[in-house]
Amino acid sequence: MKFQEANLGSKTEFAEYVKTVIPKLFKGELAVEGKKVALPQDGDLDFKVKYDEDESGGSFTIKVSWEYPGARDEDVDVDTD
């Protein structure tokens, strides 16, 4: 399931937002749409920084993802004959 919250504000307001969100994340207190964000204690985190810009605008993204132990994609054979 996907959960998201969106905000609109100034650069200063964005800075204050980041200053509150990141500490909440690491304290285990961050919730998105009421769903608590829980980083796994064990295992690897895949984290990326992305920046895009063109003539119409830009975006900056920090993305963190992980897989739960034992969660694997199963190979599925499909007979097309």
- Provide the number of structural domains found in the chain: 1
Please, which residues have CB within 8 angstroms of residue 58's CB and are 6 or more apart in sequence?
A: 51, 52
72 within some domain: no
For residue 50, being part of any structural domain is answered with yes
Tens digits of per-residue pLDDT, 58-70? 999 999 999 988 7
In a domain, 74, yes or no: no
Looking at the DSSP assignment, which residues form a beta bridge with residue 46?
Answer: 65
Q: Within a domain: residue 78?
A: no
More confident residue, 23 or 75: 23
In a domain, 19, yes or no: yes
Residue 72 has a pLDDT of: 64
pLDDT digits (tens, 9 = 90+) for 12-57: 999 999 999 999 999 999 999 999 999 998 889 999 999 999 999 9
Q: Is residue 1 part of a domain?
A: no
pLDDT band for position 10 (50/70/90)?
very high
Q: Which domain holds residue 50?
A: 11-65
Assess if residue 45 is contained within a domain.
yes
Residue 1 has pLDDT above 90, yes or no: no
Which residues partner with 62 through β-bridges? Answer: 49
Distances (CA, A) of 74 to 5, 45, 70, 71, 77: 32, 22, 11, 9, 10
Helices (H), the chain: 11-27
Alpha-carbon 9 to chain mean position: 20
